[in-house]
Structure 1
């Protein structure tokens, strides 16, 4: 079997499309495409849409070039790699090997990436591919608090505060958000050492963020965490209705929360945001939100999880951190 994943902000609550293909290898799928489009004359875009569950930006160019220039179907993965590098329309790069094709491009609005992956990679590289290949909502919530051993992040993580004195564990924040066309990869995961998710609400109230030190989403989350909140899920629901304002989020939590709640009460959402289409789930060790931003770009994702959930779902946790860090799950330079 072969797996296809289209990482696109236009594709549903998790901003990706996952499709399982019947072909034994990635090369076999491309050879079948050659036969269908070049030899049998099928319409390129219609065939791709039927095979891959929808259009894929710029991808049809490889089969159009094959038909136009009478290119022979590739016989090896090296030939496939060379054909893709010469004839596939991309605004980024093409990486290929015996078991995968990985492509980064953009449509002048946002970055897009797509992947053809040999099924064997799902078992040998779970820590890189589990989240990329995950199809559906939500992520599994149950975590075994007796799971032994620490979770070690596979990519650099920025600590947003000193470890809480006497605290245990770590809470990680993965925010798959963007505000410009550079929208995939380069999203630094953050962490709060010495605190687990059940204590995060109280911890946020006690912290004083430094200027320029926190991403805006976490500043909003802190501001909307109420004094009586004993878990973070209530604040996530408030964030779903937060408008795009220039409010300062620094300072004493009590007054900041009161001011923020007054803004929230009169908020007018713009650009087609629909809080009713947002998905929010919260459990003891994992909080997740797919927040609806607008009709054009769809959703952005927030994940908050601690080391207990990560240890029990090491593949998902590690691959989610990689997913934020780089567009390519096999990017060199991360911790091995």
Structure 2
């Protein structure tokens, strides 16, 4: 079987389109569909085959050339004829593309199923088809080590246990709308204590989204869910609002005043946002824009990560790199080869 994954802000709450094809290899898929796609309008064919406009993919079927016979030929044809505004990586078992539709970055991947099975820490999140992840998490003797660098945003409190991670899949401009963001980490905290930990955190060490989340936590909130619901009505979560960097009580009062005055813009619909909070995983697909759709937030602790190590690792890689097969631990979007 061949997996196809389209990483795109246009693809609903998950930001991904996942398809499966019965072919044994990526080369077999291209050989099977080549003549059919080339014999008709390739743009329309791609939309029908995938259920989406996979940006630029149709151009490989418009060459007038015969189908590739080998992996080497496929790679050469892709390099020479596929329209890509970014990067193309092709090997014997996968094709990985980063492109740009002049509005946002997009990425798509063809990969053999045995690669997905052999590299679950790279592909598990990508091939997961729903927006939300499984939340079961029993305490485990296993530990979890992030596969990419993390940004530690606060020192561990005395006697604190565990580690809290935040993977926020959002973007503020065309650049870095695919990858380019490392996870945030709060040592000595697990999800049940996250609300209190963020109230006490130094806002200057938080990114824009977590700073807004901190300000929207009420003084008596014991769980993070109510603050996530308030985030759903915040205007632009990444914007610089100096007042929410004040001590927590003042920051929260100011945030509530701003919240009362905000009217959703750009076609944003809070009613379409999805929020789910469990014991060790909080997740949100927040509807931010009529055109560019959703952003995904995942807040999870080491207990959940140890129970789902491949998914947690794949999710962290997804946030940091455009290419799931990138082998450089410290690679950012522009340096991953």
**Does TM, normalized by the shorter one, top 0.5?**
yes
Distance 2:45 2:98 in 1: 22
For residue 42 of structure 1, the aligned residue among 21, 40, 43 is 40
Is 2:134 the counterpart of 1:136? Answer: no
Distance 1:274 1:120 in 2: 40
For residue 55 of structure 1, the aligned residue among 40, 53, 57 is 53
Is 2:152 the counterpart of 1:159? Answer: yes
- Describe the superposition over 1:271-303 as per-residue Cα deviations: whole angstroms up to 9, x where unpaired: 111100111000010001111011100001111
Is 2:26 the counterpart of 1:26? Answer: yes
Answer yes or no: is the 8 Å Cα contact 1:19–1:53 preserved in 2: no
SS in structure 2 opposite 1:317? helix
TM-fit CA distance, 1:197: 0.7
TM-fit CA distance, 1:246: 4.8
Is 2:97 the counterpart of 1:110? Answer: no
Is 2:284 the counterpart of 1:289? Answer: yes
Moved more, 245-254 or 326-335: 245-254
Answer yes or no: is the 8 Å Cα contact 2:131–2:285 preserved in 1: no
SS in structure 2 opposite 1:320? helix
SS in structure 2 opposite 1:117? strand
TM-fit CA distance, 1:52: 1.7
For residue 200 of structure 2, the aligned residue among 193, 206, 209 is 206
Distance 2:51 2:264 in 1: 32
The residue aligned with 1:176 is: 169
Answer yes or no: is the 8 Å Cα contact 1:144–1:312 preserved in 2: yes
SS in structure 1 opposite 2:96? strand
TM-fit CA distance, 1:334: 1.7
Distance 1:264 1:251 in 2: 16
TM-fit CA distance, 1:43: 2.4
> What pairs with 1:244-283 in structure 2 (closer than 5 Å)?
244=236, 246-248=240-242, 249-283=244-278
The residue aligned with 2:222 is: 230
TM-fit CA distance, 1:137: 2.8
The residue aligned with 1:243 is: 235
Answer yes or no: is the 8 Å Cα contact 1:208–1:251 preserved in 2: no
Moved over 2 A (4+): 244-247
Q: TM-score, normalised by structure 2?
A: 0.94
TM-fit CA distance, 1:261: 1.0
SS in structure 2 opposite 1:174? strand
SS in structure 2 opposite 1:60? helix
The residue aligned with 2:190 is: 196
TM-fit CA distance, 1:163: 1.4
Q: 1:215 and 1:246, CA in 2 relative to 1: closer, same or farther beyond 3 A?
A: closer
SS in structure 1 opposite 2:245? coil
Distance 1:150 1:334 in 2: 19
SS in structure 1 opposite 2:57? coil
SS in structure 1 opposite 2:300? strand
The residue aligned with 1:7 is: 7
